[in-house]
A and B are shown apart, each in its own frame.
Chain A
Amino acid sequence: MTPSGIRQPQAWTHESLQREVDALKNEPGAMLPILHAIQDRFGYIPDAAVPIIAETLRHTRAEVHGIISFYHHFRRHPVGSHVVQVCRAEACQAVGARQLEAHIKAGLGVDYHQTSADNEFTLEPVYCLGNCACGPSIRVDDDIHGRVTAEKFDRLVDRLTTSILEVK
């Protein structure tokens, strides 16, 4: 099975950033849709996007920065090949999320908001994935996994880091 939802962020240019902003700028309350569009396409919100958004939407750069930094979902730095989010909320705590969290941090050798040395995994906390009856839960890219044990997590990491070599 190939895991779905693998992000393949494209490299941004000033022109491509401007195009994303222009495509949505006339929507009512365009800011969040624009930020989502940029992050979905480029993997994060580059610093260069801030003046472009500010100019186009008639905001100050400080306001745009303030909005981006308010929301946990938006990132200002590139991420690894996969984003791993670990649920830290109560329902998952009740079934061992704290132990799983420690295992994942040790296994990947990173703390939250960091990317593993091989650039494969960026680790983030998340507060609830809505899978509260079958925790502990994690999200890897757009896939949610339930009843995650240390072993299950290790298998998942193995599967995601196994590169497929094409023989011609």
Chain B
Amino acid sequence: MTVTVYVPCDTTALALGANDVAALIEQEAKSRGLDLKLVRNGSRGLFWLEPMVEVETAEGRVAYGPVEPHIVAELVDTGLFEGERAHPLALGLTSEIPYLKNQQRLTFSRIGITDPLSIDDYKAHRGFAGLEKALAMDTQAIVDEVKHSGLRGRGGAAFPTGIKWQTVHDQPEGQKYIVCNADEGDSGTFADRLVMECDPYVLIEGMTIAGLAVGATQGYIYLRSEYPVAHRIFTEALRRAYEAGYLGADVRGSGKQFELEVRLGAGAYICGEETSLLDSLEGKRGMVRVKPPLPAIQGLFGRPTVVNNVLSLAAVPFILDQGSQAYADYGMGKSRGTLALQLAGNVRRGGLVELAFGATLRELMEDFGGGTLSGRPLKAVQVGGPLGAYLPESQWDSPIDYEAFAAFGGVVGHGGVVMFDDTVDMGEQARFAMEFCSVESCGKCTPCRIGAVRGVEVIDRIRAGDNRDANLELLSELCDTMVAGSLCAMGGMTPFPVQSVLQHFPDDLTRSRGGSPC
């Protein structure tokens, strides 16, 4: 009898030894004369359990984790291949793990279940069903479907995706482009990476639907160079999609063309900003453009361009397949559908949590995250990447929703949630925000280029106890100038984490260090 064992192949599983685990499992099976089918699936996104090994049983898949290489032999001896559940690392049926069971996985319905590169697996789980429908639809009907779903850009700006598509759709015929922003630079985020490594065809499908909707025949995925595993897996998925006729001059015999290419970024955070990304794709320095003109009217190479985040595009196949209402049924207020939250930093159970908008941060960090990894009290949480505010406990009960967060100066952004325990020095975090901006600013506008450098200097003086009150006032004014005067969100939001430290953790900033700051 064949035994099917799953060992994930995403970056996190690999970073924790999944390849070694897979090799050892094969060795064990061989030495026992067992007929093993080893599947390198995607990750389920339960990262504290990685490498999480699963075994197919009559009742369903049984999970074990975290499986370190040295424990493989012991697990096999205690019945891993039979799905025995006596070992302390046995987790029972994967589908019953509360962390997974309590999520609403729409975009991520397949991750970890399928072999990411298998088109058959993808189709067996409703893959390409949305594309088949779109191929039979009028272009305006596709745009309407996305509009009615209420989907808003998941990259951070939360602009309604359907309206962006409509603008490009309404431009005169001619060369148009679909550009996928896969420059996932925010610390604490990995959802784009998970899509590209664990379910690449959903992004290919979403981009193809976008191309059909607006009349674009060429798509580019701008992927950050820090993601070598995503690059490898996605490039292979593209090759297979071409081979199977899902891409190319005649998509599924429809007579419609859609070509897709991956382009690598080169380590510049600013290229996650859409106009800077377009300049980079054109082969230039990634400088931010002044808007207008909007990219939807004059984008890549001056042509009408849809620029969408990976998660926005990956949500589209579900919307086309199951209908806009099915998507809009999730969520609250003007934030419809689900959000891919990513629990990171000092967290006991880190990973991907896809939930309808409306859960609170506290539920997320406590019920899902299980508190800090260190076991120490949680002190601050940064939501929305390096440009997001540090939130103190008084703000953890607010529902996660674009408007609710904006109301208190928070940012949902790309859904990254980075937790810090009470050993964190918030003064150091404020300094880092400015330092990061000074390293990553594109340099086009003065408030960002010069402001960030001055920001580091002023914070250093405050921390050294040098003329503190005057420098605190100066820092406050500098933050206001950057917020009001910067060309894009880089300089315009860098002050958010700094201001949040000034407001909620002032003691950390002003505590005298007596010497030179680190």
Contacts and interface: CB of A to CB of B under 8 A. Distances in A.
B373 interface: yes
Contacts of B374: 95
A113 to B, nearest CB: 12
A146 B189 contact: no
Interface in A91-132: 91-95, 126-132
B423 to A, nearest CB: 9
Given A127-B440, A133-B190, A134-B350, A32 B266 contact: yes
A70 B386 CA distance: 20
B429 interface: yes
B245 interface: no
Contacts of B373: 95
Contacts of A35: 266
B190 A131 contact: yes
B285 A67 contact: yes
B455 interface: no
Given A32-B283, A73-B266, A131-B11, A93 B228 contact: no
A94 B266 contact: no
B80 interface: no
A147 interface: yes
A27 B98 CA distance: 49
A131 B48 CA distance: 11
B266 A71 contact: yes
A145 B15 contact: yes
B114 interface: no
Contacts of B193: 130
Interface residues of A, number: 43
Interface string B3-20: 000000001101110011
Contacts of B439: 127
Contacts of B432: 90, 93
A1 B342 contact: no
A147 B14 CA distance: 12
B283 A29 contact: yes
Q: How large is the interface on B (under 10, 10 to 19, 20 to 34, 35 or more residues)?
A: 35 or more
A133 B342 contact: yes
Give the most central of B20, B228, B267: most A CB within 10 Å.
Answer: B267
A1 B20 contact: yes
Contact of A126 (B226, B416, B418): B226
Interface string A128-149: 1111111101010011111100
A6 interface: no
A94 B345 contact: yes
Contacts of A12: none
Contacts of A36: 225, 264, 266
A35 B225 CA distance: 12
A144 B346 contact: no
Contacts of A72: 266-268
Interface in A47-90: 57, 66-67, 70-74, 89-90
A31 interface: yes
B461 interface: no
B159 interface: no
A33 interface: yes
A55 to B, nearest CB: 15
Nearest to B347: A133
Interface stretch (B146-154, B179-187, B482-490): B179-187
A139 B386 contact: no
B11 A135 contact: no
B268 A70 contact: yes
Give the most central of B50, B187, B281: most A CB within 10 Å.
Answer: B187
A132 B350 contact: yes
Nearest to A95: B346
A133 B344 contact: yes
A31 to B, nearest CB: 3
A150 interface: no
B414 to A, nearest CB: 12
Contacts of B283: 29-32, 57, 67
B367 to A, nearest CB: 16
B436 interface: yes
Given A133-B47, A144-B14, A94 B189 contact: no
Interface in B222-271: 225-230, 263-269
B266 A133 contact: no
A30 B283 CA distance: 6
A97 to B, nearest CB: 10
Interface string B308-345: 00000000000000000000000000000000001111
B382 A90 contact: yes
Given A36-B266, A93-B432, A94-B419, A144 B11 contact: yes
Contacts of A130: 11, 184, 189-190, 193, 226-227, 230
Contact of A134 (B16, B263, B284, B386): B16
A73 B226 CA distance: 9
B424 interface: yes
Nearest to B190: A130
B386 A89 contact: yes
27 contacts: A1-B23, A31-B283, A67-B283, A71-B267, A72-B267, A73-B225, A73-B268, A90-B432, A91-B344, A91-B416, A94-B345, A94-B419, A126-B226, A126-B267, A127-B439, A130-B227, A132-B187, A132-B344, A132-B345, A133-B47, A133-B48, A133-B190, A134-B12, A135-B345, A137-B15, A139-B226, A145-B15
Given A95-B374, A146-B12, 19 more contacts: A5-B228, A29-B263, A32-B283, A57-B283, A72-B266, A72-B267, A90-B187, A91-B188, A91-B418, A94-B344, A94-B424, A95-B345, A127-B187, A127-B269, A128-B185, A129-B226, A133-B47, A133-B342, A142-B228
- A-B complex: 7 closest residue pairs judged by Cβ atoms: A133-B350, A31-B283, A89-B187, A94-B345, A132-B344, A71-B266, A146-B15
Interface of B: 11-12, 14-16, 19-20, 23, 47-48, 50, 184-190, 193, 225-230, 263-269, 280-286, 301, 342-347, 350-351, 373-374, 382, 386, 416, 418-421, 424, 429, 432, 436, 439-440, 442
